[in-house]
Amino acid sequence: MKIGQVAEEAGVSVDTVRFYERRGVLPAPDRMPSGYRTYTPAAVQRIRLARRLQALGLTLDEVIGALHATDRGDVSCASERWRLEAVLDRIDAKIAELRSVRREVGRVLARCDRDECVFTESDIRT
């Protein structure tokens, strides 16, 4: 398969396929005498898996680590569970941050209700 076909079947751009190659998500493809890259259907599956893991919240480095563990054959739910736990920790931290921002916006809105417009002040802290 040529790079355009891989990109189309995986639902990504050609640039994404090249980026994944550079970062180690995909192994270096074979090349034809003309210099064109040639891929196996496994490349499409690997890209789809990488995208699924990223959609779950894994960083690209975590995705690469998981894929390399899979390549070595020493991957299981038990061995990779920590990756998902790290995602949950990041989500929980982001939720806490958003709750804090939400409280602050509520305080600022309350000031607006008292005609204390924060948009005309240099300091919006309450």
Residue 125 has pLDDT above 60, yes or no: no
Q: Mean of the pLDDT values across residues 48-71?
A: 96
**Domains in the chain: ranges and CATH:** 1-75 (1.10.1660.10), 78-126 (no CATH)
pTM above 0.85, yes or no: no
Interatomic CA distance for residues 75 and 49, integer angstroms: 14
Interatomic CA distance for residues 33 and 72, integer angstroms: 30
How sure is the predictor about 122, in pLDDT bands with cuts at 50, 70 and 90?
Answer: low
Planar angle of CA 99, 102, 105, nearest 5 degrees: 155
Going by C-alpha positions, the residue among 77, 125, 78 that lies closest to residue 105 is 125
Interatomic CA distance for residues 20 and 64, integer angstroms: 9
